[in-house]
């Protein structure tokens, strides 16, 4: 979540990824870049998934209160856990931005299982590594031995001459 300072606007085509069917305003260049990023990472902008009254969409107000924009977003890769994303209009935080709140539904049992099923740590067999190290050194010595025999060693002065 964050203040992306971009306006994604309304979804322009049904095939457009990363944006839901509900949005407000026009899209700007930063909004295009945010949508490209979201689509490339299989994310979705949660603010645009739920139908709200216009008052519950905008997150920024101009100093003279003449214009409002949706520029603060909650972006997720788990669309299925989002139940609602809305602004909190009644809380005065001393800013031109409004708080954005999201309700999520999580099955704690499944999440705990997901954490516990992390891949096991790979154990490194040091004895095997030391054997491979010796083999590697021997192979490198043999490769460079042939080069060593082919080189004519000269002093800097002889090479210069």
**Residue 124: inside a domain, yes or no?**
no
Residue 75 has what pLDDT?
A: 92
pTM for the complete prediction? 0.63
Structure-token pair, residue 91: 């809380």
What torsion, rounded to 10 degrees, do the Cα atoms 17, 23, 26, 28 define?
A: -50
**Domain CATH number, residue 65:** 3.60.10.10
Specify if 140 maps to a domain: no
Contact 56, 85 (CB under 8 A): no
User: If you count them, how many residues does the chain have?
Assistant: 161
Q: How many domains does one find in the chain?
A: 1
Quick check: is 27 in a domain? yes
- CB-neighbour burial class of residue 56 (10 A; exposed 0-12, middle 13-18, buried 19+): middle
**pLDDT score recorded for residue 152:** 64
More reliable by pLDDT, 144 or 20: 20
Establish if 26 belongs to a structural domain.
Answer: yes
* Average pLDDT for 17-46: 90
Do the domain assignments include residue 32? yes
Which residues span the domain enclosing 22?
2-106
Radius of gyration of the chain (CA): 30
**Residue 55 included in any domain:** yes
pLDDT in tens, 55-77: 887 888 888 888 888 888 899 99
Assess if residue 111 is contained within a domain: no
């Amino acid at each position: 979540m964050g203040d992306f300072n971009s306006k994604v606007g309304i979804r322009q085509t049904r095939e457009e990824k990363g944006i839901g069917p509900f949005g407000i305003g026009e899209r700007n260049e930063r909004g295009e870049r945010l949508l490209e990023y979201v689509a490339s990472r299989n994310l979705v902008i949660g603010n645009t998934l739920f139908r709200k009254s216009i008052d519950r969409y905008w997150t920024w107000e101009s100093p003279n209160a003449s214009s409002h924009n949706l520029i603060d977003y909650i972006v997720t890769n788990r669309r299925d856990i989002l139940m609602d994303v809305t602004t909190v209009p009644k809380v005065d935080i001393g800013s031109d931005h409004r708080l954005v709140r999201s309700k999520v539904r999580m099955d704690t049992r499944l999440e705990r299982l997901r954490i516990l099923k992390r891949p096991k740590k790979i154990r490194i067999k040091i004895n095997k590594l030391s054997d491979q190290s010796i083999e590697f050194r021997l192979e490198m010595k043999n490769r460079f031995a042939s080069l060593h025999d082919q080189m004519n060693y000269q002093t800097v002065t002889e090479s210069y001459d």
